[in-house]
Amino acid sequence: MVIRQTRIFVPPASPFDDNQWCETLVGSVIAPLVSQTEWFWFSRYIAPRTDSGDCDINKVPEEFGIDRNDQRLYQSLRFRYQISDDQANSFEIDARGLIYQHGCMISDFRSFPMVEDLGGDRFVGGERSEQRRVERAELMIKYLCDVCQIFIHCLEGPDDIGKFHLEMNDNKENPHGSTFESVHHLFCNITSVPLRVLISQHGIGTDWCPPVISDGTPVTTFEIRY
């Protein structure tokens, strides 16, 4: 078995020209491929060109960027997977062809350091032995793969212009229409994960995506209940 990854960039053109670009990418490119893998997971990013991890950013055309909030940003999906040695080459040939067929691009396929990433200090507290790091990385893989499988199961499409979107859920427990509101609620109930919002005079954010803070601008924090 080999553990691999690639980072897929989408152009600011149809069918990727709205907030459902990730759903469309997953539905049109990722979903047709994953039955060949042992496990997989993906995560989306909207970031400046300086966020160049897991790819050769020099191979990504400047015209793939979008101008937003005085920044040039690039939309991409990190795709990680495990596959048998004898299938890896043909899988990546098929994947590259499908990616390019839909007008997207990658710079390469490369190794994914699973234990270093998902068994690193970010995901492991307490005793950080090598055995616990390996065990935690394997548990994280199961968790992330399950979430991504549910995501794909919730997809609807493509429509007549090739776009996908998540199903609408009209249950009152999902006030914004997303099944993942209930999924998230259960995750919070199970883990009691601490979470807060940060508020400045420029906006609202989190510790991962904070609001703009000017020199001397006070920031107010509010703990979130669930």
pLDDT tens figures, 23-64: 999 999 999 999 999 999 999 999 999 999 999 999 999 999
Task: Tell me what pLDDT residue 201 has.
Answer: 79
DSSP string, 127-195: ---HHHHHHHHHHHHHHHHHHHHHHHHTEE---TTS--EEPP---TT-TTS-HHHHHHHHHHHHH----
**Residue 133 counted as domain residue:** yes
Count Cα atoms within 13 angstroms, Cβ side, for 9: 27
What's the alpha-carbon Rg for the chain, to the nearest Å? 19
Domain that holds residue 218: 194-226
Q: Is there a single domain that holds both residue 124 and residue 205?
A: no
Q: Is there a single domain that holds both residue 215 and residue 156?
A: no
Domain termination site, one of 110, 144, 164: 164
**Residue 184 counted as domain residue:** no
Q: How far is CA 11 from the centre of its chain?
A: 17
Taking 50 as the pLDDT cut, the residues of the chain under it are none
**Residue 185 counted as domain residue:** no
**Residue 160 counted as domain residue:** yes
Domain termination site, one of 145, 164, 183: 164
What tokens appear for 117 in the block?
């990433």
Q: Is there a single domain that holds both residue 64 and residue 115?
A: yes
**Residue 187 counted as domain residue:** no
**Residue 134 counted as domain residue:** yes
Q: Is there a single domain that holds both residue 50 and residue 103?
A: yes
**Residue 46 counted as domain residue:** yes
Q: Is there a single domain that holds both residue 134 and residue 209?
A: no
Q: Is there a single domain that holds both residue 68 and residue 151?
A: yes
